[in-house]
Structure 1
Amino acid sequence: MASITFKGNPVTLLGQEVKVGDTAPDFTVLANDLSPVTLADSKGKVRLISVVPSIDTGVCDAQTRRFNEEAAKLDNVQILTVSVDLPFAQKRWCASAGIDKVQTVSDHRDLSFGEAYGVAIQELRLLARAVFVVDSNDKVTYVEYVSEATDHPNYEAAVEAAKSAQ
C-alpha cells in the first residue's frame, strides 16, 4: 500500500491500491446535481481522474484549475475531480473559479471511489491526493499516489499519460 502523509503525519488508507495494468475499479459518486456518476458513464473515453482532499484549499484549487486548462488540449479525455466535498460546495466553487471542462464529483456519501482506489484517509475521512489515468477499455495506464497529501502531483506526467492512452 502507498505510504502517505498529511501535513507530515502518516495516515491510514482504506481500500486496495490500484496499479498500472489493473482493470479500473467501478465506483459511484455524485455529480453536482446529486445524480450518480460511475466509471461506466464515460466508457469509450480516456479518463483522467484527479483526486483532491478538499476543493477549497490552495493545492486542490490549483490542481483542479490546472487540469481544467489542460482539458482543452486533450481529445477524447474526460477529466473528473473527486473529493469528499459536498456537491453543493463543488458547484459553488466551480462557478466562482470558472471551471467548465473538468467534472467535479463528490465521494462524501459512502467513500465508494476512495475505498475502490485506496485513497480514503481513515483518520480524516478525506481522500489522499492522487491521479489515475484509465484508458477507453477501462485499464489503468497511470497511477500517482502523492506521498505528501499537501504536495502537487506531477501534472506533466499525468497529461502525457492521458495523451498516450487510447
Structure 2
Amino acid sequence: MKRPILIHPDPRLKKVCAAVPDLSDALRMLADDMLETMYDAPGIGLAAPQIGVMDRLIVLDCVKEEDGTARPLAMFNPTVVAASDDVNVYEEGCLSIPEQYAEVTRPKVVDVEWIDRDGNTQRETFDGLWATCVQHEIDHLDGKLFIDYLKPLKRQMITRKMQKLKRERARG
C-alpha cells in the first residue's frame, strides 16, 4: 500500500527514531509499503519517518539501469560501523524535499550493519551511490536532512520553497 510522503518542514522529519525492538509481521508489511511508495515516487531510498513512522527502518534500491535486476533492501536498525576517509560528492535529492538538489560530501565507502526482514544480522560494505543513499537514509532516522549539510542561506531558500509548495498543495 502506497503511503503519503511527508514534505519538509515537518517536525517529524527532525526527530530521532526509536530502535525496532522486535520484528513483527506489521513491520515487515511496513517495509513492503515503503518499498512500494519509494518505487512509485520514484526514488532510490525511503526512511520510515518520511511516512510519519518513527521507527529505525529504511528501504533502498540503487539499481538504476533499465536492464538491471532490482535489489530492494529493507534495513531495520541500520548502523554505519565503519566509514572510509575517502569522500564522494553526490548531488542529492530527497522525496521529502521534492525537486531540490544539492551537492553533499560523504564518506565514499561505508560498512553498515542491520537486521533483515527475517531477523538476521547483516553486514555489508557499500560504495558509490549505494554508500551515499544508505547514509542519507540513516540520517533521516537521526532527524537529519541532506539540506542540513548546506550553508544556512541555501538551506533557508530550499525550506521557503518547500513551505510554498505545501501551501499550494493544501489549496489543492
TM over 0.5: no
Higher RCO, 1 vs 2 (CA within 8 Å, ≥6 residues apart): 1
Pick the structure with greater CA Rg: 2
- Structure with bigger helix share is 2
TM-score w.r.t. the length of structure 1 is 0.26
TM-score w.r.t. the length of structure 2 is 0.26
